[in-house]
Amino acid sequence: MYSLELELVMKTVLPVLFVFLCACSALKVYGSADEQYRFELQDLAIEKTLWLNRDWINLVHYKPSRASLLSTRSTTYSSFVDDTKFFLAKDGDSKPRDELLATLAAVFNSAELGDSHAQCRFPARLSWLSEQLKIDKHKLPKVECPLYKQWQSMVSVGSAVLVFPAHHLNSPSSMFGHTLLRIDPGAEREHSDWLAYGVNFGANIPAGDNSLLYAYKGLSGGYPGQFIVEPYFKKIQEYNRVENRDIWEYPLNLTARETHRLSTHLWELKDINFDYYFFTENCSYRLLELLEVARPSAELTDDYWLAAIPIDTVRSVINGGFVSAQQYRPSIATQLRYQLQTLGKSLQPLVVSLADNASVAEQEEFLSLSENQQYLLLQAAYNTVRYRRAKKPRDPLSAKQSLALLRAISAYPVHQKEVMPIPVSPENGHQSKRLTITSGREKDSNYSELGFRMAYHSLLDNRYGFLDGAQINMGSMALRHYDDDNVKLERLDLADIFSLTPRSEVFDSLSWRVYGGLERVNSEAERPLAMHISGGAGYAYDFSGSTVYTLLNTRVEHNREFNKALELALGAELGWLYQSQFGAGSIKASGLEFTGSEQRLDVSLEQDITLSVNHSLRFKAQRRWYDHYTASEFSLSYHYFFR
């Protein structure tokens, strides 16, 4: 009987015990059931090679190394992010596979819960991994993320708008313009643009850095860059009112899913450092990366290996199918110029008088005008006061004048708001890079020349889509070949910036120019390559739709024919910039006298002939007197603009 019972126990209990022991053995290897589930997910991720997915590459901001692009071997990566706290794996900045597996391990970590948990720090990564691996959320640790929830509630992303403030010549960081995103709340919330949030990427510049140090660090990646989310009204005040820059806004047609991915990734980038490079890894490039995260099928950054000019990136976003509309927000200065143009020159002195003293509205000169003229004068005077105090601290006198003018305006019947014509939008202008082919003759020799400019607009280029009187040439070079000579470097301009702003009764603006680099100068014996930094300042005036200007110039030059290593020159320039039915043209004369007694005088005529937006011809005639050297030069150039 006992043997029968023992046999029954062996048949029933031992198999159950065997299964239990196997399960215990497995738990020793894998740990808890949730940990075993995590290992299974990692194995599945490896099987799918998810770390090579474009979505993951975008989320961690990886870029393939240039050596990998030229090699047939496996691709190696490095991340644009230069901040260790953005990575969970030891070598996560260069190993996408390790970073993905480390992220999976971290989101299942139950030892440390709260805002520092990976689920709170990387919600975009978790969301994407959940989609790809069908993660059972019930098996994830329950983590509370109060800071992330508070941020989501505050920002409440419903839609996004690409914003382009036009270039600002007086700010080195914004001379090519700027791009940022405006984040609008969902349709369920009533809101004004002023209450939206702006997403801006910029360099973190210490207060003591001067312009030269900024230029060096900005070009060499010496500054950290960060994304900053702040109320949009601050950006309107900064760009539109203080710096007087027109703002172009491009609403984006992101889906709800794409918008959510964008907002969650913005949280992941909070307080994360990137290296900032003025020409490449700048504000515009980083925004393209953000949009690639939102819509991984887009390929917006692939073409920007040399420079990411803001307006070029706007074109990329438009061509990529992101933009659904366009809006224009003119600056106070632009509105004021239009008001003055509408009133005419004869009434402009009265605008200034009203801006200085609102009681002028009680005088006969003002009262004799029509009601409509009176109303427009008061509006222009009010904008003049706003324009004057834009860059200054608020003072009681200006506040008193503004209040008096507003009271005077309110005494008139409500007028229909003057609709300002919308100018040509900047993305419709010519492309930023320029290739030039020139054929010319100097003195008794023929020459041919090949030129290239990296960026981005000169005064004689087609002004369609550009601000008048603003020249920004960066990275220009020319190679010249004479019939009886070898190919030589004719010119290398590192920078050539010219701000030509006509003065008026209201606008007391200074025109200025600064440029420098290498250029050949003429002498009796040869044409040595001289190094120089030149600049000048003066005034410009409107003359029947064209611009006449005069500048006092200075130049520091290194020339091997000089007796000293450096010589200083002083001089002047008189010019006339005009627009014709063919295109822009200029006539100018300039003279310099060096401390070593050398004198130079140049007189030139240039006429640009616009063929289309990105094609033009340019004729130039020049006469030079350099001490004992005198020569005439004539040339015809073809200009091709491209990205």
Q: Taking 50 as the threshold, does the pLDDT of residue 45 lie above it? A: yes
pLDDT tens digits, residue range 521-560? 887 667 889 999 999 999 999 988 899 999 999 999 999 8
Nearest to 97 by CA among 67, 148, 62: 62
Q: Please give the average per-residue pLDDT across 602-607, as a whole number.
A: 97
Q: Is the CATH code 1.25.40.10 the one for domain 429-642?
A: no
Confidence of residue 172 (pLDDT cuts 50, 70, 90): low
Q: Which helix (H) or strand (E) holds 44?
A: helix 33-48
What are the CA-CA distances from residue 331 to residues 109, 169, 237, 285, 323 (Å)? 52, 15, 10, 25, 23
Does 16 score more than 50 pLDDT? Answer: no
- Calculate mean pLDDT across residues 212-216: 71
Rounded distance between C-alpha atoms, residue 376 and residue 568, angstroms: 50
Which residues lie across from 578 on neighbouring strands? Answer: 585
Q: Give residue 266's pLDDT.
A: 95
Of the pLDDT bands very low, low, confident and very high (cuts 50, 70, 90), residue 330 is very high
**Which pLDDT tens digit goes with each residue over 231-260?**
998 888 888 878 889 999 999 999 999 999
Q: What is the pLDDT of residue 522?
A: 80
How does residue 188 score in pLDDT terms, banded at 50, 70 and 90?
A: low
Phi-psi region of 246 (alpha: psi -120 to 50; beta: other; left: phi over 0): beta
Q: Is the pLDDT of residue 43 over 50?
A: yes
pLDDT tens for residues 77-120? Answer: 999 999 999 999 999 999 999 999 999 999 999 887 889 999 99
Confidence category of residue 32, pLDDT binned at 50, 70, 90: low
425 has pLDDT over 70 = yes
DSSP-derived secondary structure letter, 388: H
Average pLDDT over residues 2-21: 44
According to DSSP, the residues that pair with 626 across neighbouring strands are: 600, 629
Q: What is the pLDDT of residue 195?
A: 79
Query: Kind and range of the H or E element at 276?
Result: strand 274-276
pLDDT at 173: 59
Position with higher pLDDT, 281 vs 612 = 612
Cα distance between the two ends of the chain = 96
* Residue 210 predicted with pLDDT over 90: no
The chain-wide mean pLDDT, for the chain, equals 88
Helix (H, G, I), strand (E, B) or coil at 437: strand
d(CA 174, CA 387): 20
| Rounded CA separation 423/418 (Å) | 15
Per-residue pLDDT tens digits for 489-513: 999 999 999 999 899 888 888 999 9
- With 80 as the cut, is the pLDDT of residue 408 above it? yes
| Helix (H) / strand (E) containing 491 | strand 487-499
Which stretch of 22-26, 233-237, 368-372, 410-414 has the lowest confidence by average pLDDT? 22-26
Whether the per-residue pLDDT at 579 is higher than 60: the answer is yes
Query: Rounded CA gap, 326 and 467, in Å?
Result: 18
Q: What is the pLDDT of residue 204?
A: 80
Complete edge-to-edge strand list for the sheet that includes strand 159-165: 274-276, 223-231, 197-203, 180-184, 159-165, 247-251, 327-329
Is 198 or 563 the better-scoring residue by pLDDT? 198
Backbone φ and ψ of 634, nearest 5°: -130, 140
Radius of gyration of the chain (CA): 33
Q: Dihedral of CA 233/238/243/247: which sign?
A: negative
In this predicted structure, what is the pLDDT of residue 73?
A: 60
Dig out the tokens for 215 from the structure: 């230029």
Distance between CA 496 and CA 518 in Å, rounded?
12
Tens digits of residue pLDDT in 451-464? 999 988 999 999 99
Write out the two tokens for 290: 């953000």
Q: Give every CB contact of residue 414 below 8 A, 6+ residues apart in sequence.
A: none
Does the pLDDT value for residue 15 go beyond 70? Answer: no
Strand partners, 238: none
Phi first, then psi, for residue 234 (nearest 5°) are: -65, -35
Enumerate the domain spans of the chain. Answer: 25-141, 153-329, 332-410, 429-642
Does residue 61 carry a pLDDT above 70?
yes
CB 572 within 8 A of CB 552: yes
Query: Is pLDDT above 50 for 30?
Result: no
**pLDDT higher than 80, residue 19:** no
